[in-house]
Amino acid sequence: MSTITTVLVLSLLVEITTEIIKSSFPFIKDFRTQFVSMILGVIISFATSTGVFSALDIKISIPALDFFITGLIISRGSNIVHDLIKKINANFI
């Protein structure tokens, strides 16, 4: 599976997990929802060593920064990741 596909799948999983957490804990809403999503995205990105920069062959001297930024992208959900992939493909093709 390519890294871009992995990011899309992980973002979908974060989106689903965030919704489950929101429904289990009603006090989690608004900015708390975004915070939970960001934490989940970053944790999953680090746990799976998934990085967008490395997938695009962009050299970065701090791999943790790659995972952190990828985690933030993942936390935005599958729609934003899909839009990002379309933009990247349009620029590289």
d(CA 45, CA 87): 21
What does the domain layout of the chain look like in residue ranges?
3-92
What separation in angstroms does the CA of 34 have from each of 2, 4, 31, 40, 75?
27, 22, 5, 10, 8
Give residue-wise pLDDT tens across range 63-91: 999 999 999 999 987 667 667 767 777 77
C-beta of residue 72 within 8 angstroms of C-beta of residue 6:
no
Q: What is the pLDDT of residues 5-60, one digit of tens each?
A: 888 889 889 988 988 998 999 888 888 888 999 999 999 999 999 998 988 889 99
Percent of the chain with pLDDT over 70: 90
